[in-house]
Structure 1
Amino acid sequence: MSESQNIEYKESWRDEYLKWICGFANAQGGRIYIGIDDNQQVVGVADTKRLMEDIPNKIVNYLDIVADVNLLHKEDKDYIEIAVQPCNLPIAYHGIYHYRSGSTKQELKGAALQQFLLRKMGHSWDDIENERATLDDIDRQAIDFFLRKAVDAGRMPVDSLNETTEKVLSNLNLIGGEGKLRNAALLLFGKNPAKFFTSVQFRIGRFGRDEADLMFQDVVDGNIIQMTDRVIEVLKSKNDDPLNDPLNDPLNDPLKLSSLEKDILKLIVKDNQSTYDNLAISLSVSSATIKRAFRNLKVNGCIIRKGSKKIGYWMITEKGKSILK
């Protein structure tokens, strides 16, 4: 069996392998075989009596866990199996938390460590109580919006509309035992969630031929409860705009090209490495005008760029060729 998320082979024992045991305990558990090489060939270990005492003791002393350490035999050679069970509590080795991911050992730091510790303790990020927030940071309009939607949907009685902000948040389990607001309360109903959490926003964009061709982008921020309707409004406004209607998208109507754009296609046929400046001189227009024309040609799917900016070239698509016929 090859190395995997649950299997690791080591030719000989080193104390640093306690990190691997730590990683297995923090993940889904696993087995480390001492005396087997990466090709899964048994090479054997010496002084098995000492190792069978040292390894279990070091696991307990350094990691505070117990693992099964078994002495196995194959082809007249001894090797050791260390079977590690997943642990419900976070395990550290010399103050550092390790985690088994795939066939690698990861050292947890920063946000990854925070999420790991919360998960092991049975919490999630949105369940954490925010020490800086108060009820003044909650938008009552967002609460009312939520209550009206819930009443209209038949999920709550009409008299719920008169409940206090604190009562509503408490019923939703968004207030901790000491009256502190949880992060989820601020995300859902906060006046300004960005005050507490960076990058709390919803981005709506539209791309042209590829992910590098961003045609427009709208940013919707605020609390999640009100953000959803605002996102839908933005999407509707884009769909109602004929310039953004897929049925009228220039990708489906190549005949809308200007005479300048058609002339550019003809020049690309002659020299597909022409620069914006060279084309501008040839067509007696500005480079900015050429760039706008190229953007429209790309959006229409008439041309694509092959290679880098320095040594690449323009290629006319089948749609572009159909215009030149």
Structure 2
Amino acid sequence: MSESQNIEWKRSWHNDYLKWICGFANAVGGIIYIGKDDDGAVTHLEHHKALMESLPNKIRENLGIICDVNLHDEAGKKYIEIRVNPYSVPVSLRGRYYYRSGSSKMEMTGNTLNEFLLKKAGKTWDDVIEEGASLDDIDDNSIKTFVKDALKSGRMPHDIGELSTVELLEKIRLLDQGKLKRAAIILFGKDPNRFYPNIKVKIGRFGINDADLRFQEVEEGNIIELLKTVPNQLNYKFFIKPIDFEGLLRIEKEEYPVAAIREMLLNALVHRSYMGSMVQMRVYDDKLNIWNEGLLPEGMDLESLKHHHISRPRNPLIADVCFKAGYIDSWGRGTLKIYEACKEAGLPEPEITNLDGGILVTVFKKETSSLNDQDNAVAGGQVDDLEKSIEQVRREFGLLSDRIALGKEKNIAFLRGNYGVFTEEIRKKFGINTEEIRKKYGRNAIDILMLFMLEPSIRSKDIAVILELAASTIEKVIAKFKDDEVIEREGSTKSGYWKIIEQK
């Protein structure tokens, strides 16, 4: 027998071991043997009589709990057994809280302590009333999106569309005696970051390693908004081939399974610790990962995520609303879907690891030809297909400003070399007469349209860097395009994109 979750051996008594007793009481209970070595062999306890008299009082006075303290004799060698029961209320030692995890003792502080105290009180973080919030902090559009999705999922009654916001929030248990719970702000708040830090998703595009950050974006808002804006941002700036997050069964070739990415994002948003750091996504040439703060529930390990396991959400109210909307199921199948989707796509097995107090999920692409090989093909005039050209440009740009500024000469040369391919595509696809565009809006107009076609979310300052023009010049052309309905803006200034309008 060895030391474990509920067994500890000590050769002699030291008052510091009260921390171990506190840790056992706050976890699942346990036994401390005084008078045994690290192998569990009895070493004999000299002052066992004095300890038998003092330990029960010492434990009661310092921890406020009662433990069974028993004396044992093995071949004339004495040792003491301190049997600690688990307690339903939090136990502290001089104002500090300890917890037994595995075979070690840890002091709980910050978010860990907060979650522990809530759990002992029979509550979870998302179930707490947010005293500073009112119904004015709820976003009506997010409520409407939820109702639409819930009706589509069939997991809510058909009459929910007739309920007022108050009635709906009461029905889904986010309103208690007229006061909003934290889950309501996280799910439907106009500005969740006003109440809690880091209700955001940071997305970075990296190169060969984590030191090679090329560009980044941060999306913030409630969960309903993030489920829309994060996929949009991935599509318009980070993925080579945009993917349809609505069509969960469709899998893009040479990219990532839609179902896997969607489940990764949902798991991160639903199960994260909302008093910790923001969710972080990293997109590399050959992989994508997502990290959220908050470890697995007690008794669950990483290996169990590959198989059937019980659903034990950190934020049960948030999870329940996402279930009702059809975003997740309630059977703990989220990680299984990630593994299954990658297997069906013929991709390597995903990796799920503990990292810096959180969970990191990584999915991998198939190996593709190197960028150098693609560059050589372009230089040699071997690109005879528009799709290959567009993909190469996106790989080459990253698209955007930080990397363009570093290698713009090469990028501009590539664009000019394939200019005819793109202008012909603009003419065929949108019915635009490129010669008339040049005459009406200037010689750079087609260049701007070409960049909109390649990268709809590109910013005017990035276009200015590529074409080596003043940003004000680019903005004037864009304004004329917009007035004449050559282009239109889809979405917000921050996370939207430009759409070329088909000319009739």
Indicate whether the TM-score tops 0.5: yes
Structure-1 separation of matches of 2:406 and 2:240? 24
The count of aligned residue pairs is 267
Question: 2:156 maps to what in 1?
Answer: 156
Q: Which moved more, 1:28-37 or 1:43-52?
A: 43-52
Q: Secondary structure at the match of 2:9?
A: strand
Structure-1 separation of matches of 2:407 and 2:89? 59
Offset of 1:128 from its aligned partner?
A: 1.0
Aligned CA-pair RMSD = 3.2
Structure-2 separation of matches of 1:47 and 1:154? 69
- Against the structure 1 CA distance between its residues 51 and 225, is the aligned structure 2 distance closer, same or farther, given a 3 Å change threshold? same
Matched, 1:225 2:224: yes
Matched, 1:53 2:79: no
Offset of 1:102 from its aligned partner?
A: 2.9
Question: 1:274 maps to what in 2?
Answer: none
Offset of 1:118 from its aligned partner?
A: 0.8
Question: 2:502 maps to what in 1?
Answer: none
Offset of 1:253 from its aligned partner?
A: 4.5
Question: 2:361 maps to what in 1?
Answer: none
Q: Secondary structure at the match of 2:160?
A: helix
Matched, 1:254 2:254: no
Structure 2 unaligned residues grouped into runs of 5+:
244-251, 256-284, 286-367, 380-402, 412-504
Q: Which moved more, 1:204-213 or 1:139-148?
A: 204-213
- Against the structure 1 CA distance between its residues 75 and 170, is the aligned structure 2 distance closer, same or farther, given a 3 Å change threshold? same
Report the TM-score when normalising by structure 2.
0.48
Matched, 1:196 2:195: yes
Offset of 1:16 from its aligned partner?
A: 2.8
Larger Rg: 1
Offset of 1:161 from its aligned partner?
A: 1.9
Letter in 2 for 1:254: N
Question: 2:181 maps to what in 1?
Answer: 182
- Against the structure 1 CA distance between its residues 134 and 77, is the aligned structure 2 distance closer, same or farther, given a 3 Å change threshold? same
Q: Secondary structure at the match of 2:24?
A: helix
1:1-325 aligned at under 5 Å gives the runs: 1-176=1-176, 178-238=177-237, 241=240, 247=254, 251-257=369-375, 292=407
Structure-1 separation of matches of 2:239 and 2:113? 45
Please tell me whether the aligned partners of residues 203 and 216 of structure 2 are also in contact (alpha carbons under 8 angstroms).
yes
Q: Secondary structure at the match of 2:175?
A: coil
Q: Which moved more, 1:110-119 or 1:158-167?
A: 158-167
Offset of 1:131 from its aligned partner?
A: 1.0
Structure 1 unaligned residues grouped into runs of 5+:
262-287, 297-325
Structure-1 separation of matches of 2:206 and 2:82? 52
Q: Which moved more, 1:25-34 or 1:39-48?
A: 39-48
Report the TM-score when normalising by structure 1.
0.72
Residue by residue over 1:264-306, the C-alpha shift from the partner in whole angstroms, topping out at 9 and shown as x without a partner, is: xxxxxxxxxxxxxxxxxxxxxxxx999649x99xxxxxxxxxx
Please tell me whether the aligned partners of residues 145 and 226 of structure 1 are also in contact (alpha carbons under 8 angstroms).
no
Q: Secondary structure at the match of 2:57?
A: helix
Residue by residue over 1:158-178, the C-alpha shift from the partner in whole angstroms, topping out at 9 and shown as x without a partner, is: 5422321111111111112x3
Offset of 1:42 from its aligned partner?
A: 2.0
Residue by residue over 1:240-259, the C-alpha shift from the partner in whole angstroms, topping out at 9 and shown as x without a partner, is: 75699985988545334379
Structure-1 separation of matches of 2:168 and 2:213? 41
Offset of 1:115 from its aligned partner?
A: 1.2
Offset of 1:237 from its aligned partner?
A: 2.8
Q: Percent identity?
A: 45
Residue by residue over 1:299-318, the C-alpha shift from the partner in whole angstroms, topping out at 9 and shown as x without a partner, is: xxxxxxxxxxxxxxxxxxxx
Q: Which moved more, 1:110-119 or 1:135-144?
A: 110-119
Q: Secondary structure at the match of 1:257?
A: helix
Residue by residue over 1:188-224, the C-alpha shift from the partner in whole angstroms, topping out at 9 and shown as x without a partner, is: 0000001111111123333322233233333221110
Q: Secondary structure at the match of 1:40?
A: coil
Structure-1 separation of matches of 2:103 and 2:55? 22
Please tell me whether the aligned partners of residues 24 and 99 of structure 1 are also in contact (alpha carbons under 8 angstroms).
yes
Offset of 1:106 from its aligned partner?
A: 1.9
Structure-1 separation of matches of 2:53 and 2:75? 23
Q: Secondary structure at the match of 1:117?
A: helix
Letter in 2 for 1:52: M
Structure-1 separation of matches of 2:151 and 2:35? 67
Please tell me whether the aligned partners of residues 147 and 161 of structure 2 are also in contact (alpha carbons under 8 angstroms).
yes
Structure-2 separation of matches of 1:159 and 1:20? 54
Letter in 2 for 1:216: F
Structure-1 separation of matches of 2:369 and 2:121? 53
Residue by residue over 1:98-148, the C-alpha shift from the partner in whole angstroms, topping out at 9 and shown as x without a partner, is: 112233322222222111111111111111111110110000111111111
Structure-2 separation of matches of 1:186 and 1:138? 7
Please tell me whether the aligned partners of residues 31 and 82 of structure 1 are also in contact (alpha carbons under 8 angstroms).
yes
